[in-house]
Amino acid sequence: MIVIALGANLAGPDGTPPLVTCTRALAAVASLPGLALRAASPWYESAPVPPSGQPPYINGVASFSGIIAPEALLSALQAIEARFGRLRGLPNAARTLDLDIIDLDGLCRASPDPILPHPRAHERAFVLAPLADIAPDWRHPVLGQSAAALLAGLPGQMIRKLAARDAAR
């Protein structure tokens, strides 16, 4: 299973709200050759991690099946981010779109990029909560724990599932 996290907290260059950007980005990722969408989580709103005073994020997670090289997937995701106005600057800065590879069929590697599994996914409620929604049997390839167990062990992080009426906007 390939797991990709999606997030945004700034409007796109054309004023597109983060939720719309994330929804459109999910469709763009799902259309990549070699990938087939298996499941997409509900959307969540979360506070930035680490806390920084920036606007809240819209986050979700999707799982895919398929065969794709890690470098090719990273390149494709970065191209999608650029199409949606992502500018790379400071780490953890506000952004129009963030696409992260969380897991790629259990592959573990420290280099080259992308580092797999994602090196901070297990510390982030905005990844673990939506991941637990769509893949309750998923286990972290290094830690061996489920998303729900990892989430339960986190210190408090502000996150809330968006109601269907919010997500429909």
Active-site residue among 14, 86, 137, 139? 86
165 in active site: no
Active-site residue among 38, 98, 105, 113? 98
38 in active site: no
Q: Terminal CA-to-CA distance of the chain, rounded, Å?
A: 30
Active-site residue among 14, 24, 38, 95? 95
**Are 68 and 1 spatial neighbours (Cβ–Cβ below 8 Å)?**
no
Radius of gyration for the chain, computed over Cα atoms and rounded to the nearest angstrom: 15
98 in active site: yes
**Burial letters 144-155, b for 16+ CB under 10 A, else e:** ebbbeebbeeee
Q: What angle do CA 100, 43, 14 make, to 5 degrees?
A: 75
Active-site residue among 38, 100, 113, 139? 100
24 in active site: no
Catalytic annotation, residues:
86, 95, 98, 100
